[in-house]
Amino acid sequence: MNMKRMFSLPCQCLFRFVALLSCLALSFLAFTNQPTVAAEPKLDDADKAWQAVEKASRPPSPPAEWRTARPSEEEIMKFRGSQGKLAGEAADKAKDFYMRFPKHDKADDARKKEYELTAFAVQLGNTNRLARLDVLQKERLNDPKLSEDERFELRAQMVQLAAMGRQSEGEAVMMAEFEKGVRALQKDFPKREEIYAMLVEVASNSEGDKARQVAREIIESAAPNQTKDEARKLLKKLEAVGKPLPIKFTAVDGRKVDLTQMAGKVVLVDFWATWCGPCVAELLNVKAAYDKLHPKGFEIVGISFDKEKDKLEKFVAEKKMAWPQYFDGKYWENVIGQEYGINSIPAMWLIDKKGNLRDVNGRDGLAGKVEKLLVE
């Protein structure tokens, strides 16, 4: 579940796990212990302490190699665990600052920072910080100076954390917890536009009738036009499942492509771009599936979001990508992408041998999914 969609469009062109780490959870640098402080610290001591808090809160990028080589689950968990620990340590530095310098003009900022860092630590799996986070949340909610915006933001963060706390129980349980929290927010903050973006997330992670119902609710609501458009695109995508996909074009190499004429084949429609790191990293898995299963009836059709035809043709030749590519040079305004509501890549759709769209999340376990469709 991409929680950042609560307030903005999903991070484009990132691994889902990297998006989660990049969009939701800051990474934090470790620090050496602070020197012993005198009973009455000097002003420059406070300034140095605040600099240390800011440095500890500075977010380095995830490992650069993750943009071109998919990390293992073990590497991901190790990274998250280390960052969760460092986030907790950074929160301690923020607390130490406002306890030592309660009258400093940065004391209030330090209190807010402690909460944010503690929340990130918990999101990254640092359960040792749960009790402290609960205390901080209650303290903030009871603060009479808290504005409506701050109160809503805090409640929304609590909804996220409650959902993430159920992650080990599976996607369905986590999303049920998230929707419960969103509905409570909707009741208490009925005029907040962010609620509808959160409902888009609910619809995006639901299936069948439930997903369609929530999407229609958004379309018929007082949601911002941009959010309604996103819901309309999602609904169109949902309603396309189980039906033929009428995509027809002339590929960059001159081949004629018509998905409605590919009955008897299992077809992967791969929305991608050469400038998209995760797309390029995923190519290894895509090619492996193609090489193994193409003789059995597996085909691929690429929908490129590239802006320069020459770069696309060169890349396809270098990587020996044997399948046809759609190209119109319109980047995120790609005609087919717009038609089917594609707002993040890579996106992989699978069409069965009867020519019907079967899976709009074909990326995970691609080869296994193709093999099952081939034997139907």
What pLDDT score does 43 carry? 53
C-alpha distances (whole Å) from 334 to each of 278, 303, 304, 324, 331 are 19, 9, 8, 16, 5
Average pLDDT, the chain: 84
What pLDDT score does 366 carry? 92
Report the amino acid identity of residue 322.
A
Rounded to 10°, the helix 43-56/107-123 angle is 20
Distance between CA atoms of 250 and 61, rounded to whole angstroms?
40
Query: What are φ and ψ of residue 361, in 5° steps?
Result: -130, 55
Q: What average pLDDT score do residues 365-370 get? A: 92
Q: What average pLDDT score do residues 23-47 get? A: 49
Q: For 248-374, which CATH superfamily applies?
A: Glutaredoxin (3.40.30.10)
Q: Judge whether residue 37 has pLDDT over 50.
A: no
Q: Judge whether residue 13 has pLDDT over 60.
A: no
Domain extents in the chain = 3-210, 248-374
How does residue 262 score in pLDDT terms, banded at 50, 70 and 90?
Answer: very high
What pLDDT score does 296 carry? 95
Distance between CA atoms of 190 and 184, rounded to whole angstroms?
10
Q: Of 191, 264, 245, 257, which is closest to residue 360 (Cα–Cα)? A: 245
Report percent pLDDT > 70 for the chain: 88
Distance between CA atoms of 251 and 303, rounded to whole angstroms?
9
C-alpha distances (whole Å) from 175 to each of 1, 65, 275 are 8, 31, 32
Distance between CA atoms of 318 and 273, rounded to whole angstroms?
15
List pLDDT tens digits, range 279-304.
Answer: 998 999 999 999 999 999 999 999 99
Distance between CA atoms of 65 and 85, rounded to whole angstroms?
22
Q: Residues 6 or more apart from 135 whose CB is under 8 A from it?
A: none
Q: Judge whether residue 40 has pLDDT over 80.
A: no
How does residue 352 score in pLDDT terms, banded at 50, 70 and 90?
Answer: very high
Of 339 and 270, the structure prediction assigns the larger pLDDT to: 270
Contact between 300 and 286 (Cβ < 8 Å): yes
> Which among 31-35, 203-207, 241-245, 246-250 has the top mean pLDDT?
246-250
Contact between 177 and 171 (Cβ < 8 Å): no
Q: Of 94, 89, 88, 87, which is closest to residue 50 (Cα–Cα)? A: 94
Contact between 290 and 323 (Cβ < 8 Å): yes
